Each structure stands twice: as structure tokens, then as C-alpha cells.
Amino acid sequence: MTKAELVSKLAEDSKVTKKSANAMLNSLVAAIKESLKKEGKVRLDGLGTFVVVDRKARTGVNPQTKAKIKIPATKAPRFRAAQALKDSVK
């Protein structure tokens, strides 16, 4: 499902315009991003949990030159699906 399809589905289900549904979806995504920056965790019951994880610095290999490179430590978002979501997909 694409973002446009999701916006159409939201608009249809909530009986609002696609413009309003798009604004709501954009607001939700922005709120999740902001919360991950500040708190590092967002939990949505029935859907799952978004968390920020720390990745350690490591050594990698350039596939073209086979030279070893240092990959710096970084933070990355992760999503862990709730049991209810896992069960509904089965």
C-alpha cells in the first residue's frame, strides 16, 4: 500500500476529504519523528513500538575495492510489531 492509497482509505473510512486525511497522516508521521528525537520511544497499542537504537562503530568492507572502512557509531529507528498485529497477519 502506498501513501496515496493509505490517504484514500483514511479519507473514505473517516468521511473527510483526502486533503484532510493527508494532513492528519503527515501530522502523525511528524509527531512520531519528534517523539523519537526527544524520548526515543513511541508505543501504539495494537500496532507496535518505534524505538531508537544505538549502533556501535564497526569495520566494514567496500565491495568494489575490498578495502576495509570504519563505519561510525549511529542511531537508527526500529519498529517492533505488537502481538495483535502479528496475529492478524497470520
Instruction: Report pLDDT digits (tens) over 48-58.
Output: 999 999 999 99
Whole-number pLDDT of residue 81: 96
For residues 46 and 71, membership in a common domain is answered with yes
Contact yes or no for 8/25 (Cβ under 8 A): no
SS3 15: coil
Domain with residue 89: its CATH number is 4.10.520.10
54/51 Cα distance (integer angstroms): 10
Range of the domain at 32: 1-39
- Give the count of domains, the chain: 2
Mean pLDDT of 12-39: 95
Mean pLDDT of 18-29: 95
For residues 81 and 48, membership in a common domain is answered with yes
For residues 77 and 33, membership in a common domain is answered with no
For residues 49 and 77, membership in a common domain is answered with yes
pLDDT over 90 percentage in the chain: 97
Instruction: Report pLDDT digits (tens) over 40-77.
Output: 999 999 999 999 999 999 999 999 999 999 999 999 99
